[in-house]
Structure 1
Amino acid sequence: MYDLIPLQQSHAADELEAEFKDLLIVLFQKYLFKDGFDCNVMGIPYLGSYELITKHLINGNIANFDITRIAEDDMRYLLLAWKYRNGKRGTHFLKTFIKCTWGNEFEIQQLWHHKETKYPLGLITEEEIEKTGLNKNDFFLTSRIRINLTQREARDFPYEIAEMLKNTLPARLFISEIVKETSCEAGVSLLGDSTEYSVSKYDCTEEQKEEVTEFGVNVFGEGTTYSLAFFTADNS
């Protein structure tokens, strides 16, 4: 299409017509090819230009934020996954969305809930059930999901991307938590029969402190007492 081969191979009556053909080809390549190509692939926009892909991502409410952070190939892949390969937009699309907009170092964990605990206060992963020796039959699988950021060096998970996930996932899937796990030595205070815990006077390295980040805000600050959403105690 770019070279207009049929026009090049068409008959020219004289030198003037040949010059007009060459001029038309140059003008087409410079001013019209991009728009013409996008029109030609309108039904399969992931093959189109950066501008066409951007328009479909925004119009489809797939990535309605500053998408300059996304590589062009990832944008094509995201649009393809959303529009053609995963119409139900389940966990596969969720993984695709995070991979394209943020990176590869994460896990998607579906959460279970204890049958005798008020919903949703007893959420836990299948791995945590096994680690703590609990009976899996005492739990039921929910539609709530935990995104576990697994990268060693802390990196922001932009709030705008987290918000956008609400628009791209079906109502049956609910992102309950976005967490970053780390480890450090600390004193743990437990109140009797309480579900609230506090960690105080921590002793961890500067590298560990830098790793503990959630949505770009340091969890460990300058104080001596810190709150956690979940912790695992190791008495060794």
Structure 2
Amino acid sequence: MLQHNTIVSGFILVNDENTNAALAAAKAKIGDAEWKSGYSEDRCNIARAMLKEHRASCTFKLEGRLTRVSTAETKDAQGNTFRKVRVTLGEGRESMILSLDVGTEFCERLLPKLGAAVVQLGIGAQVSITCFPDVVERDGRTFVNHVASLKDAQGNQVKGTKPHFRMAQDAAQAAVDVLQKAGIKDRKTLNMARASAKEEYFFDLAQKLEGFFPVQPETKAA
């Protein structure tokens, strides 16, 4: 199973010993505070170098037949719940699963394009998924957009058919408006409500997309 890593700006293995060791080494070299700052070209180069040094897999393009999109909720040792979207390319032993955290920019950018691919190309269509950072300057500040690119077998970009970002922002603002009308002004509470409503929107979108795919038979524990 793979996941998107923002500092590496690539796809890395989940719960892989070599990968974890490489990221730990990169974090130690970069420093905790800088690591938490997210992507920069220098931090990316260090992280990629550590992955190479530890012989950890890292790829920047996934290709295969789009065979499934599913959702899941996992919990950590502290009982925190994490919502996931899992994208499967291929079938059987040749398949790849990309696991994404709902609420991350890459997931939010990819979901509308996956929906368009299912509607326009059909289930099982050959696609490729790539990721790259888009660094922009605005009002004297630097912002990094984690772009998700989805292409069909001919290399044509697949674009979302609805303005999901705007629709998610509208849902988030509506949630904030309800609290403000109730007299709640605490910024932290309002920001949490905004983020929660936005995440809820995209998780609902992922569940709708999941419904397009045939129901998978349950695997019984041995």
Question: Normalization by structure 1: what TM-score?
Answer: 0.22
- Structure with greater Cα Rg: 1
Looking at both structures, which has the greater relative contact order when contacts are Cα pairs under 8 Å and sequence separation is at least 6? 2
Question: Normalization by structure 2: what TM-score?
Answer: 0.23
